Amino acid sequence: MPTTSITLDETPLVLHLLRRADDALILGHRLSEWTGHAPTLEEELALANMALDLIGQARLLYAYAGSLAGHDEDQLAYLRDARAWRNCLLVELPNGDFAQTILRIVLFSAFMDPCWQATTRSADPTLAAIAAKAEKEVAYHLRHSAEWLIRLGDGTEESHRRAEAALDALWPYSGELFEADAADQAMIDAGIAPDPATLRGTWDATLADVLARATLARPGDTWMQTGGRTGRHTEHLGYLLADLQYLQRAYPGATW
Amino acid sequence: MVSERVRRAREAVSTVVDPEIPVLTIADLGVLRDVTEQDGTVEVTITPTYSGCPAMSVIALEVELALAHAGIEDGRVRTVLAPAWTTDWLTAEGRRKLAEFGIAPPEATSSRRALFGEPAAPPCPRCGSGDTEQISAFGSTACKALWRCRTCREPFDAFKCH
Ligand SMILES: [Zn+2]
């Protein structure tokens, strides 16, 4: 394993796989940070299980991207600098409180649920096979997080206040999920990936349903944050990577 | 025509068990997809149950060991994703063993339920009562949920319907 950072030849397909994989790994890493700190034992298991699903999805996607780009999954996870990460900004933000952690899973899963379902019909058989596993897992994540958000929003004055604050904080990061650049368009045209614009209606309907049950008002249209898909990240990603990549950076090629 | 070597390999790897549910063999689980021989190399094809299932690497290792014990030195393990594993791949024998072990087997057919639909209640594997409730959709492993029986009051694991 090389000891220095790698750069990749990002064909549209490799870039698409990295965007999906990086979303999954970074959110999985964030959820794993709750291990040992969750409010109840059942929630501890739930957050760890969701983290495991996401990291598992990331591994399948990295293995495929790596087979096309000439790297293995570990190199893709451990040897890319922040500017080479293609995840959306939403997933790299710190967990915040429990309400913010839950709301992020709702926003992300409400998008990934129809996205993975549509991807099961991808013209790329490997990606379709990964989607067939992921779409079942994300359905659990969406249901679990949505049920929590309803309990928080429609709970006590304090839990409602926190859920509302989380919604205000994270909403401007939801727009990036629907972005499509030239590389994405090439994947859409080839029938490999769904057009995110076609997922908007499902996402809107899910959010409308969940927010109404949670007695939370949907924030109005606002300026949306952007940049993650092209490597322009918040400062938080650097700290996360320092943690995630520490061992392979300090002891290059270490195995056990 | 299945060669004697493939038959021996299949017999050997069929006894490999899931490290997290040791009453189930990988054949019961439907994780074992195929055993073939190509150009003198025995290839065992397995498929993961869940994307992040940590048991898969242990299973792959156990398969290689089982082949070696059966005298098949150059065995190879291949992991495939398609067709995706669902709980429909669990054999009837696997379902019976699960129930006996105290884990409620999944419903016979996997299907997506509505976002807020109630999960179908599995009967209690201890007393058979149908009066059960879900405690958590996530259990001790990726494939199980946590339930409780309202009749005998015992908690139990239920295999998730996927
Ligand atoms: Zn009972």
Are the C-beta atoms of residues A162 and A169 closer than 8 Å to each other?
A: no
pLDDT of B85 over the 70 cut: yes
Q: Based on the fold, state whether residues B70 and B104 are members of the same structural domain.
A: no
- Domain membership of residue B95 as a residue range: 91-159
pLDDT band at B115 (very low <50, low <70, confident <90, very high): confident
B30 located within any domain: yes
> Is the residue at B84 inside a domain?
no
Judge whether B47 lies within some domain: yes
- Is there a single domain that holds both residue B71 and residue B31? yes
Interface predicted TM-score (ipTM) over 0.90: no
Q: How many CB pairs under 8 A join A and B?
A: 80
How many angstroms does the Cα of residue B124 sit away from the middle of ligand 1? 5
Same domain for B61 and B16: yes
A57-73 pLDDT tens trace: 999 999 999 999 999 99
What residues have CB less than 8 Å from A161, skipping those under 6 apart?
none
Percent of chain A with pLDDT over 90: 92
Q: What CA–CA distance (Å, rounded) separates A197 from A131?
A: 19
The answer to whether residue B62 sits within a structural domain is: yes
Q: Let me know: does A170 contact A224? Beta carbons within 8 Å.
A: no
pLDDT score for B96: 94
- Interval A70-88 mean pLDDT: 95
Same domain, B155 and B135: yes
Q: Which two tokens stand for residue B67?
A: 């082949």
Task: Say whether both B72 and B111 belong to one domain.
Answer: no
Q: What percent of chain A has pLDDT over 70?
A: 99
Measure in Å the smallest separation between the Cα of A175 and chain B Cα atoms.
23
In a domain, B85, yes or no: no
State the pTM of this model: 0.92
Q: Are residues B98 and B136 in the same domain?
A: yes
**CATH class of the A12-217+225-250 domain in this structure:** mainly alpha
Residues B24 and B72 in one domain: yes
The mean of the pLDDT values for chain A is 95
Best mutation site among B46, B47, B50, B51 for testing chain A: the one with the most A CBs within 10 Å? Answer: B51
Residues of chain A neighbouring B60 (CB-CB closer than 8 A): none
pLDDT (0 to 100) of residue B91 = 93
Given CB atoms, is A224 within the 8 Å cutoff of chain B? no
CATH code for position B66: 3.30.300.130
Interface of B with A in 94-153 (CB under 8 A): 112, 115-116, 135-140, 142, 146
Domain boundaries, chain A: 12-217+225-250
**How many Å apart are CA A126 and CA A135, to the nearest integer?**
14
Task: Provide the number of structural domains found in chain B.
Answer: 2
- Asked if B60 is an interface residue toward chain A (Cβ–Cβ < 8 A), one would say no
How many Å is the Cα radius of gyration of chain B? 18
Residue B109 vs residue B73, higher pLDDT:
B73
Give per-residue burial for A210-224: e unless 16+ CB within 10 Å, then b.
bbebbebeeeeeeee
**Nearest-CA distance A59 → chain B (Å):** 8
- Whether residues B37 and B62 share a domain: the answer is yes
